[in-house]
Amino acid sequence: MSKNDFLKLQPDHRTVLVKDMTVFNSLRDFLLNSGYVKVYETQRVGEEKTAMATFACRNLIHGDCLAVVYGISASDELAHPQAPFVYGGNDKKPEELLTYVQHLALRTSDIFKLKEYLEKQGAQFLTPVFQEKDSFGPLLQCFTRELFDDEWFFIELVQRDYNPGDIKKKTGEQFANKTVQSLYSMKQEEFREWQSTKRKPKMFEGKPEEVNKKVRDFLGNMEPKDFPKTVPCLKKIFD
């Protein structure tokens, strides 16, 4: 392994927000009938007032992994996964959105080296590195701040200390419940702060062109290289 192998990133999973439970259930049923198997599911995880329902699945043929999230709001507080459907995103008005890609998880061989490397480039992280274990082995995860002022998108870094390619035909949980709970609470607190100040601490600060360059430089290490274009709010800076 070369000293910079930690920069070689692969897609681990995408998380998609949905507007309501009808979309959530329809997408869940479609995926389960399209070659995907469940790797995580909970009807409610979060805080006392707000929470989210989450379903994650993996395709047994090509290994693609997708998580679907519905934000459960209280009468007097909005759950952060509902933000795109209230404030808009992807250059669309709220009423035009039914789904929204919230974050992209990238797999690395050394999460600590990658996090240190990015922090030297000015990257800000919302969370520390969570050290967990899924059904297949040790699992490390951390999450960045959101990337853009006008979007709700962030990056997750993942290190799985097993070969994900070896488990394509196996079933088991690949998400850690404690990490899901911790991330929800930290994102909700971040969202409350934004609602109060309308200021968003971002992964990279600076002028839009400077931020876009840093994002392109970082995600340019992905394989396949065109994968960022599958995320609407990234596509516009990679085209």
Domain locations along the chain: 9-162+172-238
pLDDT at residue 149 above 60? yes
Rounded distance, CA 63 to CA 3, Å?
27
Q: How confident is the model at residue 147 (pLDDT cuts 50, 70, 90)?
A: very high
Rounded average pLDDT over 80-97: 97
Dihedral of alpha carbons 234, 201, 145, 75, sign? negative
Confidence of residue 62 (pLDDT cuts 50, 70, 90): confident
Residue 134 pLDDT? 73
Phi-psi region of 46 (alpha: psi -120 to 50; beta: other; left: phi over 0): left
For the ranges 37-51, 53-67, 208-222, which has the lowest average pLDDT? 53-67
Q: Which CATH number fits the domain 9-162+172-238, given the four candidates 3.30.420.40, 2.40.50.100, 3.10.180.10, 3.40.50.2000?
A: 3.10.180.10
